[in-house]
Amino acid sequence: MPVVSEAVLTQILSQLQSLQVAQQEMGAKLEALTNSNSPPSPEPRGLPISRTNGRQTKSPMNGSTITDSLQEREKSLYPGRVLLTTYPSQHGILPFNLTWGAEDPAVRGPVICSRLPSSIKVRNAIGAHSGSYSIYRALSIAMGSLDPMYKPSYEMTEPPVDLAVPCKSWYGTEGKNMKIVSLDPWGHLVPSVWQKAIQDKSVGGLGLDIRPSISVTKAHIKLKELDDSVNRGELFVDGKIVLNTAPFEGVLDPGVEVNVSKAAVDPIWYLPGVADRFGISESLLRRALFEDTGGMYPELITRPDIKVFLPPIGGLTVYIFGNPSFLRDPSKILTLRVHDECNGSDVFGSDICTCKPYLVYAIEECIRTAQGRHPDQIQAERERVKQSGGSEVDVNNVEKGAEGVGAVVYFRKEGRALGEVTKYLVYNLRKRGGDSADRYFKSTEMVAGVKDMRFQALMPDVLHWLGINKIDNMVSMSDMKYDAIVESGIPILKRYDIPPHLIPPDSQVEIDAKIASGYFSSGKQVTQEDLKKTVGRRWEEVEH
């Protein structure tokens, strides 16, 4: 029996999709002719959906008045027919030019996904801004809290630090040259770079609804664990990065706080590049995103000409310790942790995993690096003093070296991107099944069907956005994160695991299972027999 190549299958799928689009267009045109007597719409027509609700609730006194009022509000918000989707050949559709990876922002073009009348016909992206929070925006409009026509004012919102500036890794239009495909590198510069396009037509602009997908700010962070480290002499107050917290009533020791720069990043996907990263066709990616989200975005199918998609998922936050410009300077030491969200541990201190202790340890390493107090920096400075003719006393008196920079990238991928509900179900299975390390990953697979859905291929994009070209210290044991970063072209000079004394007893199951599966360990080796012997705490155990 002849074997059909993937290329042939892809061609067949593409032709089927073209037929589907043509059929949908014909259906829409036929519907328009059939309903030619219906009220005109200010927008392109789509398929009609009934606006009546058979489950309306009326109060005895004024039920009809309330119902009429709600219907009037609906008509005022959405006076036209329901527009289910659009098509490339539809009258008036002319997407604003967007060439992903172009060096000149005028050629690259802005990302426009707005459905406002001023922008809907020039949209060049599918989806909505703010990721999963776009649902709350829709709810706010429905309740009358937010004017759907409101356009934000970006006055005095520009970044206070040069956290990310245009660099070589931002550019590239195909293949391996394309380092960034899952976020818009220009996202934090939108109000300045495309100011003219955003300005109202009354002042000579285009009046387009173009929004930032990245914001940058400065802040102080405060963690009790850092107070303890200062008290133990493991961290030092320098008045620049680590500051004494001002006294406040009722607290004997207010502790310390840390000066940081940070950025919030919403995902924006360039679909051909994302498909290439995962080794699948763009048509398969589009079909999966459409079919397996309940048909949420029909334009993934009907608008193959639009290559940019704003997925309704969580984004990421970057925390920078020290001078942000050092991230782009290969002469400076960089300590980095890429951390995937774990609400139970990071926020509430659950001890079933090492997420919080590992995160805090990484923050401390980042602080030491920014201050020049990392052991490698101190050793380098001692060597410099020695080579310059310094005495043994001079060498031994060296307490810090050249300042470096630290970064923690915090991704919203709760429960290995399986979600918190699934994670808790897995916890139940583990505890009822004896919670041995040899069944750690198997328990997840039994509930979720897969042990991990984070798929780290897109993760390095944010590092390239920051201009990082090498990592001196990688505070991570993950082989998947390490491989993804190195394969993207960023070398990692040293990686190290979490110190044993920071591992909570109940999370030894996690650590041993990960080491046995290929996670990095500087010394410990784990056999299958060891995994069977490593058992977590039972629910009934309350004494320690």
The residues assigned a catalytic role are 452, 454
Q: How far apart are CA 341 and CA 351, in angstroms?
A: 15
Closest to 324 measured CA to CA, from 263, 380, 381: 263
Burial label for 36, CB within 10 Å (0-12, 13-18, 19+), is exposed
- The Cα–Cα gap between 191 and 155 comes to 9
At residue 259, φ and ψ (nearest 5 deg) are: -80, 120
* Distance from C-alpha of 353 to C-alpha of 24, rounded to nearest angstrom: 50
Closest C-alpha to 530, from 436, 407, 415: 436
Spatial separation of the C-alpha atoms in residues 355 and 410, rounded to whole Å: 12
Find the DSSP H helices in 413-503: 420-432, 440-448, 461-465, 479-487
From the CB of residue 183, how many other CB atoms can be counted at a distance below 10 Å? 22
> DSSP E strands: which ranges in 23-139?
125-127
Looking at the DSSP bridge assignments, the partners of residue 268 are none
Q: List, in sequence order, every residue forming a beta bridge with 474; answer none if it has no partner.
A: 336, 495
Cα–Cα distance for residue pair 316/164, rounded to 1 Å = 15
| CA–CA separation, 439 and 191 (whole Å) | 51
d(Cα 18, Cα 304) in Å, to the nearest integer? 10
Q: Which residues have CB under 8 Å from 541's CB, separation 6+?
A: none
Q: What is the rounded CA–CA span in Å between residue 491 and residue 449?
A: 33
Helix, coil or strand: residue 337: strand
